[in-house]
Amino acid sequence: MMTYKVNMLPAKLQREGLIDVKRLVLISAATLILALSMGGYCAFLINYTFMKNDLQDTTARLDELAPLVSRVEQMRKERTELEAALKEYEEIIQNQKSWSVLLDDLSNIIPIDAWLVDLAILNRPVERKTSPDGAPASTNEADSQNKAGSTAGDKEKKTAGLPHPNTITLKGYSRTVSSVGVFIMNLNYLPYFEDVKLNRISLDANKGYSFEITTTLKDEV
């Protein structure tokens, strides 16, 4: 005997045995999107918390390292100053060696009846010769260029530590005038000087002839 099942509900309420696939897909998709959004937001909050903690730790470490960085910068500055002082000291030592050789040569060339009582090493401006009025323009231009180059060189010497000496004044006595002349001639033979001038010579009743000589040093000395 066959049994019939009759559903008297309206069509809108007849859900039994029916599956709305489209609605199910939409609900599943919305649920998945919401779950992914919530998961991403939670991951963002976790990463943000970790990054915030790392930033705080890094800031604290930087504050701790600030005195050390300051000491390192101070040490670097002191090292630079010490290197500059060492370089200047080496230049002074080298100049002392050059001066000692020069003094030895002076003692070897001075005549036996003459002696020095004063030696002054100075830095004086060098007198430059002016060309005559009728000189060509090219000569004047060359002189001006040489003057500009020498002025720049003088500035470089002044800025590089102590001023470079360029003049030596010798004062002494001699028994005879000829010995003074021999001494001047021997000074011209030395490789240190490019100009030797006798400033004065006078007779001293007790010590002989008093003389004063000025010499101009070459640039490489």
Name beta bridge partners: 202: 210
Distance CA 66, CA 31 (A): 52
Query: What is the token pair recorded at 89?
Result: 């000291």
Q: pLDDT of 38-83, one tens digit each? A: 888 888 888 888 888 888 888 888 888 888 888 888 888 888 888 8
The proportion of the chain whose per-residue pLDDT surpasses 70, expressed as a percent, equals 67
Does residue 100 carry a pLDDT above 90? no
Long-range contacts of 123-129 (CB under 8 A, 24+ apart): 123/163, 123/164, 123/165, 123/166, 123/167, 124/166, 124/167, 126/150, 126/166, 126/216
Specify the pTM. 0.44
